[in-house]
Amino acid sequence: AQSVTQLDSHVSVSEGTPVLLRCNYSSSYSPSLFWYVQHPNKGLQLLLKYTSAATLVKGINGFEAEFKKSETSFHLTKPSAHMSDAAEYFCVVSEQSNFGNEKLTFGTGTRLTIIP
Amino acid sequence: DGGITQSPKYLFRKEGQNVTLSCEQNLNHDAMYWYRQDPGQGLRLIYYSQIVNDFQKGDIAEGYSVSREKKESFPLTVTSAQKNPTAFYLCASSIQKGYEQYFGPGTRLTVT
């Protein structure tokens, strides 16, 4: 069975400083991994995805994530936080089993606050 | 503009009434999904559909029903059997099951 753990429910950083949102996963098969962002009362927007190509994935708005199989991690980073980055972020794992079943599992989210 | 629309944005109902949430997409996606989001929790899958006239239960299907008569439409009915219907409901679609999903803006349902 697959699972996703977002290690921090809330992260606060100052504007202009780096952002790190942590995500660990477990999966029986080769997973696909995603990061989504959700602004208040809005739907989710895809930031980036990993699908077994390059382990360092670049996304929109300057975000990137690195897939580390040995650490079962897929942490999201950004070099310099902007006020508009304040939102909820979800790490998502999708695995395709040998039986053709596929399921998305969402983490519980990390709320990012940017301090002016 | 391609995308997913959900209507209405806010919906209020009295307990014991059924209510239907709309979801329409013009992305020509085969797969569509309904999720429920509660405060402090991730999204939980209610139902999904891989093709027209086919749908499958997700993790929390009890008290909900869906139909998929057209490729672009996947309405969700919250029935009176759903014990805690107040939540934020998100619809999503993907080219096929297993690919990244694109989300609508959501409908916030309040039942009193």
Q: pLDDT of chain A along its 116 residues, tens only?
A: 778 999 999 999 999 999 999 999 998 777 889 999 999 888 899 999 998 778 899 999 999 999 998 999 999 999 999 999 999 999 999 876 544 456 788 999 999 999 99
CA dihedral sign, ordered A73, A108, B21, B34: positive
Q: How many CB pairs under 8 A join A and B?
A: 47
B100/A46 Cβ within 8 A: yes
Percentage of the residues of chain A whose pLDDT score is greater than 70: 93
Q: What angle do CA A107, A112, B1 make, to 5 degrees?
A: 75
Q: Does B39 touch chain A (CB under 8 A)?
A: no
- Residue among A104, A110, A111 with most chain B CBs within 10 A, to mutate: A104
**Assigned token pair, A45:** 């927007």
Q: Which residues of A touch B108 (CB under 8 A)?
A: 41
Which tens digit of pLDDT belongs to each residue from A37-54?
A: 999 888 899 999 998 778
Which tens digit of pLDDT belongs to each residue from A65-75?
A: 999 989 999 99
Binding-site residues on chain A for chain B (CB distance < 8 A): 4, 9, 32, 34, 36, 41-46, 49, 90, 94, 96, 102-109
Terminus-to-terminus CA distance in chain B, angstroms? 36
Q: Does B107 touch chain A (CB under 8 A)?
A: no
Which tens digit of pLDDT belongs to each residue from B12-45?
A: 999 989 999 999 999 999 999 999 999 877 889 9
Assign 3-class secondary structure to A62-105.
HCEEEEECCCCEEEEEECCCCHHHCEEEEEEEEEECCCCCEEEE
B90/A108 Cβ within 8 A: no
C-alpha–C-alpha distance, residues A57 and A100, integer Å? 26
